[in-house]
Amino acid sequence: MAKLVLAGRANCPYYAKAELLADYLQANLPDFRVHKITKHPYKWEEWLRDICAMNGWEHKQSPIIWRELSNRGGKGLLLGGVNDFLQYAQHYYGITSTMLSEEMLTIAEENLQTHIEIVKEEEEIRSLINPLQIWITSASAPTCYHLIPLLANGEVFGMTTEISIHLLDTDQFKEVLCGIVMEAEDLAFPLLRSISKHTEIEEAFLQADVIVVLDDILFKHEVPLLEDCIREASEICRVYAPLIEKNAKSSVRVISAGKTFVNLKAMMIMTYGPSIKPENIIALATFWENAAKAVLARKLNINTAGVKDVIIWGNVTGWSYTDLSHAKVYGHDGAIWGPPNFSRPLCNVIYDSSRIYPESPSAQRSLSSREYHCVGMSLAHAVATVLRYWYHGSPPGEIVSVGIPAGGQFCVPEGVVFSMPVRFQNGGWEVMTELEVNETTREILRFLTHDLMQVMISCV
């Protein structure tokens, strides 16, 4: 079988002559096939140079015609230009072209218009499939490494939503970002349209739909000083917020995540970016919520997923309160058994909650109460979980702890980002104000609010 490739400038009259002859041969010879390639006049020279360099050919005019060795593999056999093709057709098939110059010019013009219309149609089709633009700051952090597969596998945004991931960090981590990009590309996720690295702060958050603000503090074995965390968080948010306003989409959703003052970073982004919708900025508390569930599950000898509705109140990575009064336990090996959806209040399962989770009766300082582990797997999972809830809704009836801009709920004054129980639905969240809060908890919330207000004052 003869398979020829015919390529040329879309407006080339000699390409038009060769094309008409090739079409005639294909229509009348059962074993003759032709593949046609047209290029816009502005792009033809570069394309021709590249194809010749790749195959080791010498050719400088339009069209270029070669025969593909479909049965033997390897590079094609160059025939040459239009005159070479005419000689080839005459020699092998006894057929030639008698097309006049005027007819060649008319068809060449039609070819150019057809090429322009096809390119425009292809661009319109691609524009209908707009990938979700996701930006991750401090992308050299281990959390980002674990987060990328979770975002790209389709479970967070949906199996029909393509995403583009943008990794942002300083120039000193450029090689790390290159390595992450290469590994992510090697995973070959169908929904990952592209992944790129960025070290120029001016181009940050372009067309962003989602922004994940990770830690900008390099962790060492010692716990960082409180003052250093506040200063660094304030400075970086002072830079990020105006860029988000300028470059991101108006509907952008921002998650402040990490292990250093996520509430503070969320508040500072709101302060320095007043045009960003406050309801679209949240502080991640799910990481600490899951950690508390894991402690309870280990003590009760059940799966961590069997502990629900633990609430984290207050400043997620500062003074916070782990509230177990609404917590439920599923699958507990006790005297009472039921179906898989059967649950029991945690308070009925344990005799003394302080023996299970010693800090639970009072506020604890998260920044110093837990050992830092920089693996990032659990934090990445928490980010992915909250994003999935934000886009598709949280499980019905289940409590999720999130740092959100308070609006007077549970006597927490407006103007602070405070972790409290919410539910996600219809692409947004709402505070679960129907939950009963006893006087002891209210007193703790007043203390947590006062502490968070002091942190805010120290940033002014």
Q: Can you give the pLDDT at residue 319? A: 83
Q: Is the pTM of this model over 0.85?
A: no
- Identity of the residue numbered 232: E
- The predicted-structure confidence for 253-290, as pLDDT tens digits, reads as follows 999 998 778 888 999 999 999 999 999 999 999 888 99
Q: Is the pLDDT score of 348 beyond 90?
A: no
Higher-pLDDT residue of 182, 359: 182
Residue 272, Cα to own-chain centre: how many angstroms? 24
Question: For residues 315 and 292, what is the distance between their CA atoms, to the nearest angstrom?
Answer: 15
Residue 127 binned pLDDT confidence (cut-offs 50, 70, 90): low
Q: What is the pLDDT of residues 68-81, one digit of tens each?
A: 865 545 567 899 99
CB 11 within 8 A of CB 38: no
What are 220-234's pLDDT values in tens digits?
Answer: 445 556 677 677 778
For residues 33-60, one letter each, b for 16 or more C-beta atoms within 10 angstroms of the residue's C-beta and e for the rest, the string is: bbebebbeeeebeeebeebeeeeeeebe
Residue 68's φ and ψ, nearest 5 degrees, are -85, 130
Residue 300 has pLDDT above 80, yes or no: yes
pLDDT at 358: 43
Question: What are the angstrom distances between the C-alpha of 414 and each of 6, 219, 404, 409, 453?
Answer: 69, 32, 10, 9, 11
Nearest to 323 by CA among 435, 452, 416, 453: 435
pLDDT band at 93 (very low <50, low <70, confident <90, very high): confident
Residue 334 confidence class, pLDDT cut points 50, 70, 90: low
Give the per-residue pLDDT at 219.
45
Contact, 453 vs 416, CB < 8 A?
Answer: yes
Confidence of residue 126 (pLDDT cuts 50, 70, 90): low
- Planar angle of CA 255, 209, 238, nearest 5 degrees: 55
What's the mean pLDDT when you consider all of the chain?
A: 85
The predicted pLDDT at position 401 comes to 94
CA 304 – CA 331 distance, rounded (Å): 10
* Token reading at 417: 């980002």
**E strand residue ranges, 117-276:** 132-137, 163-168, 192-198, 210-213, 253-256
Task: For residue 359, name the pLDDT band (cuts at 50, 70, 90).
Answer: very low
Structure confidence by residue, pLDDT tens digits, 421-457:
999 999 999 999 999 888 888 889 888 888 788 777 6
Res 354: pLDDT:
52
306 has pLDDT over 80? yes
Beta bridge partners of 183: none
